[in-house]
């Protein structure tokens, strides 16, 4: 069966995003991008199922993904819609980011239900405990599927998390080991 990228594929905590499983090798990921690249010869621009025109900028540890058609930005990072991390040649995390122009944001949802721009509080139906780390500025979850964290606008107090999700990160166990220095 041919694997296909999708801009609206479900976000599976600790598992997959964009239809791509964590743990995939860098070689496999690049081959998948090449198959989906409908714009070869256009400076590495990629477009696939439901996606905007994307530019994958490779770095030492992965890719920064920019929405090529976002205009009127002061800084290039304002076009960023995704960050993809590799360690030792394996995919260890995806982070989707709500860009300055939300028409270009990732359309997939956590459990097919909750996505960018929705309230953190909505995740209570899947996680009985939401914890905010004010140093890292991420929300973590207990008593539910692992391998996910979100960031949000600053609208939370007294255990009411009404902030809107502006970033979702799924990570493998390997990501957690790398972050812990293992």
Any idea what the CATH number is for the domain that residue 44 is in?
Answer: 2.60.460
Q: What per-residue confidence (pLDDT) applies to 131?
A: 86
Tally of domains within the chain: 1
134 occurs within a structural domain:
yes
42 occurs within a structural domain:
yes
Structure tokens at 103: 């028409």
5 occurs within a structural domain:
no
4 occurs within a structural domain:
no
Mean pLDDT of 128-141: 86
3 occurs within a structural domain:
no
47 occurs within a structural domain:
yes
Q: What per-residue confidence (pLDDT) applies to 156?
A: 61
pLDDT in tens, 15-63: 999 999 999 999 999 888 887 665 554 457 888 888 899 988 989 999 9
Please provide the distance, in angstroms rounded to a whole number, between the alpha carbons at the two ends of the chain.
36
Is the Cβ–Cβ distance between 130 and 122 less than 8 Å?
Answer: no
Write out the residue range of the structural domain in which residue 96 sits: 16-179
H helix or E strand, kind and range, residue 152: strand 148-152
This prediction's pTM: 0.88
Q: How open is the CA angle 50-31-107, to the nearest 5 degrees? A: 20
Q: How many residues does the chain have?
A: 182
111 occurs within a structural domain:
yes
117 occurs within a structural domain:
yes
In whole numbers, what is the pLDDT of the chain averaged over residues? 84
The residue with greater pLDDT, 2 or 149, is: 149
Token match 């743990």: residue? 23
The answer on pLDDT for 117 being more than 90 is yes
């Amino acid at each position: 069966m041919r694997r296909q990228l999708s801009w609206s594929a479900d976000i599976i905590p600790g598992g997959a995003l964009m239809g791509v499983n964590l743990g995939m090798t860098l070689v496999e990921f690049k081959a998948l991008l090449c198959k989906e690249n409908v714009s070869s010869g256009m400076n590495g621009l990629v477009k696939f199922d439901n996606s905007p025109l994307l530019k994958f900028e490779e770095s030492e540890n992965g890719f920064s993904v920019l929405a090529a058609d976002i205009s009127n930005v002061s800084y290039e990072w304002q076009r960023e819609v995704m960050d993809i991390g590799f360690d030792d040649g394996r995919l260890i995390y995806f982070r989707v980011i709500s860009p300055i122009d939300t028409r270009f944001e990732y359309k997939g949802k956590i459990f097919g239900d909750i996505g960018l721009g929705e309230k953190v509080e909505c995740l209570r139906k899947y996680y009985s405990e939401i914890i905010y780390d004010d140093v890292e500025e991420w929300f973590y979850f207990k008593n539910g599927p692992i391998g996910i964290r979100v960031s949000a606008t600053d609208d939370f107090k007294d255990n009411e998390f009404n902030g809107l999700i502006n970033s979702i990160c799924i990570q493998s166990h390997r990501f957690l080991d790398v972050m812990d220095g293992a």
